Chains A and B, each alone.
Chain A
Amino acid sequence: MKETGTTTVKRGMAQMQKGGVIMDVANVEQAKIAENAGAVAVMALERVPSDIRAAGGVARMSDPAMIKAIMAAVTIPVMAKVRIGHIAEARILEAIGVDYIDESEVLTPADDNYHINKNDYKVPFVCGCRDLGEALRRIGEGASMMRTKGEPGTGNIIEAVRHMEKVNEQIGHVKVADPDQLMTISRDLKAPYELVKQVHDLGKLPVVNFAAGGVSTPADAALMMNLGADGIFVGSGIFKSENPAKFAKAIVTATAHPTDYALIAKVSEHLGKPMKGIDISTLTEDQKMADRGI
């Protein structure tokens, strides 16, 4: 008897992505560039986060035809995004067979009360988090993979750093806490007790945690890996740079060898201009994607 859609195969798929780079791509040509550079997966979406910021309006799930064309063009896994809480978009992506669904704050939220009950799906989900409580709520809903949110489309690493440090600092706190304190920690984090207990016992999240939202250079990728990320999502950083193929390959190398600084120096030479980037302090509250769906 074959059993599909189990927690083990959904979380296991993310474990196979560790040490790798998942790249946002907007068409078949970009997907092929990403695959050739050594991406472990591509995220198919019509507009990368910096373009979503620029365009304004409502950002929705991408055209299924565009996602299917990318699925046909590459052999690596293909992920795609749905709006937070949009169960119909999620079922549509499941129906076309994407390998991972990102319930993402980059798109305009569809529900400001509830996230999707991700346990109900055969396809695994990745969700964003800014702290441990948020991560454990999403895992409680069935997320099989986490990524720290950062601030998408800014090309600015500071929010990704803040979120990764926060999650890891809180994990460290839970790990050394007395078992008698775990219920109070669960209350304070607004996180399920069983998952707090699991983090206490394991000393880490029960799922893989990548870094996202602001990675735009090989050095940024190495920084996030050194802060404890299991891998890297790059959104606008590659295809908004001057030389996408070179940037993509260099970021893959830096992610695989995050402490080999001589090598990272070598691959960082003559890359050309990275994406322009935005100072976070210039964003108004409603321009911050990380505060959506917490």
Chain B
Amino acid sequence: MKIGVLALQGAASEHLDILTACGVTARPVKEQPDLTGLDGLVIPGGESTTMRKLLVREQLLSPIKALVQQGFPIFGTCAGLVLLAQPESLDGLNGTVVRNGFGRQRESFETALTVKGWSKPYHGIFIRAPYLSEVNQPAEALVTLTDGQIVAAQQGNVLVTSFHPELTLDKRFHQYFIDQMVAKRSDQVS
């Protein structure tokens, strides 16, 4: 199983490390040919404005958008959530994104999260993070904060988090992506 990590800017190496720790082959994606032969793609945290400009410049935005439409498994964290939720970017999740929703860096925080269907809490690291003010069918919220902000969601094979699982040693979100999206789709395709 091969999973790519978009490596134009941002915390790509952290995702590559945690994916490798999950036992899959992980490799950076910087240009179009790097997308060939992948079973899944991660879009890391970084500056969403910068990443979007580089995606356009490298002619990667349309190919990745096409993959999303085909049901290709994609996991986006922070900036990745922004790009996947914006209709003008990757249009992978039916919801409304609020960029830098919690404020500036001074307001960045850590907190324990309750994830739908998981027994143990997950430690969320939020850095100038976005949130989803609403998600609509077929998207589904996985984590909602007490004041209503949706910070993790799923729509088919698209998984998004406002927070940074790649900055923790907790592999559960990556493992969920691998088991529930990448492995299942590989089975269907083969």
Residues of B within 8 A of A4 (CB): 106-109
How many chain-A residues does the 8 Å CB contact rule pick out? Answer: 39
Please give me the residue from chain B that is nearest to A15 by CB atom: B11
Chain A interface SS verdict (over half): loop
B-side contacts of A13, CB under 8 Å: 105, 108, 127-128
B50: chain A residues within 8 A (beta carbon): 20, 38-40, 76, 252
How big is the B interface, by class? Answer: 35 or more
* Given A13-B127, A16-B45, A253-B57, A75:B99 Cβ within 8 A: yes
The answer to whether residues A6 and B7 also contact, given A12-B167, A76-B50, A252-B50 and a CB cut-off of 8 A, is no
User: Does A113 have its Cβ within 8 Å of any Cβ on chain B?
Assistant: no
Which A residues between 1 and 47 are near B, CB-CB below 8 angstroms?
1-6, 8-10, 12-13, 15-20, 35-36, 38-41
Q: Please name all residues of chain A whose beta carbon is closer than 8 Å to the beta carbon of B164 when the two chains form the complex.
A: 12
User: Does A77 touch B at the CB level, under 8 Å?
Assistant: yes
Q: Is the CB of A2 within 8 A of B46?
A: no
Q: Given the complex, which residues of B lie within 8 Å of A41, measured CB to CB?
A: 47
A181 to B55, CA, bound (A): 47
Contacts of B89-114 to chain A: CB distance below 8 A: 99-100, 103-112
* B98–chain A nearest beta-carbon distance, Å: 12
Report yes or no: A77 in contact with B106, Cβ–Cβ below 8 A: no
Which of A93-101, A152-160, A163-171, A233-241 forms part of the interface with chain B? A93-101
Whether, in the assembled complex, A189 has its beta carbon less than 8 Å from a beta carbon of chain B, the answer is: no
Interface flag for B86 (CB, 8 Å): no
Whether B57 lies near A99 (C-beta < 8 A) is no
A289 contacts the other chain (CB 8 A): no
Q: Most B CB atoms within 10 A — which of A76, A94, A98, A256?
A: A256
Cα separation A8 to B163 with both chains bound (whole Å) = 12
Give the distance in Å from the alpha carbon of A169 to the alpha carbon of B45 in the complex. 30
B183 sits at the interface (CB 8 A)? no
* One of A2, A75, A77, A256 near B110 (C-beta < 8 A): A2
Interface residues of B (CB under 8 A from A): 7-14, 30, 45-47, 49-50, 53-54, 57, 78-79, 99-100, 103-112, 125-128, 164, 167
Closest 3 CB pairs of A and B: A99-B105, A9-B108, A2-B109
Assuming A3-B109, A15-B45, A40-B9, what are 9 further A-B pairs, CB within 8 angstroms?
A2-B109, A16-B127, A19-B9, A40-B46, A75-B99, A77-B47, A97-B104, A100-B105, A256-B9
Q: Could you list 5 A-B pairs, sorted by A, with CB under 8 Å?
A: A13-B108, A19-B7, A77-B105, A97-B103, A97-B106
